């Protein structure tokens, strides 16, 4: 994708686990990408990934709603149906546990 100056921009797709890491504050890299909005990288995701990340939050998590607002401001969110020609799926307890393991894993 080219910006108005003809510079090629990278697209970085954020999966549900990465989004949950951002919401939980367990990834400095993702936090920086969202909070500092790079001119070289476009962040993209689908409504399904955002749904899974939000649905995986627990009442006891230290979730800051302002992070969601910033996420919605910075990240391009496409419809799973339009982007991948797939129907959205229901979030299961197993999927929540899988995403939480990813999100709470220490980064190297």
Secondary structure string (H, E, C) spanning 84-106: CCCCCCCCCHHHHHHHHHHHHCC
What is the Cα 45 distance to its own chain's centre? 6
The predicted structure's pLDDT at residue 39: 84
Predicted model pTM: 0.87
- Within 10 Å of residue 90's Cβ, how many Cβ atoms? 7
The predicted structure's pLDDT at residue 107: 66
Residue spans of the chain under pLDDT 70: 1-7, 106-108
The predicted structure's pLDDT at residue 6: 63
The predicted structure's pLDDT at residue 77: 96
The predicted structure's pLDDT at residue 8: 77
């Amino acid at each position: 994708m080219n910006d108005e100056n003809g510079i090629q921009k990278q697209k970085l797709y954020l999966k549900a686990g990465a989004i949950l890491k951002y919401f939980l504050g367990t990834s400095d890299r993702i936090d920086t990408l969202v909070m500092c909005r790079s001119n070289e990288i476009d962040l993209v995701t689908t409504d399904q990934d955002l749904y899974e990340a939000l649905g995986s939050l627990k009442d006891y998590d230290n979730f800051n709603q302002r992070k969601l607002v910033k996420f919605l401001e910075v990240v391009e969110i496409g419809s799973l149906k339009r982007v991948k020609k797939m129907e959205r799926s229901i979030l299961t307890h197993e999927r929540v546990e899988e995403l939480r393991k990813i999100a709470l894993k220490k980064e190297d």
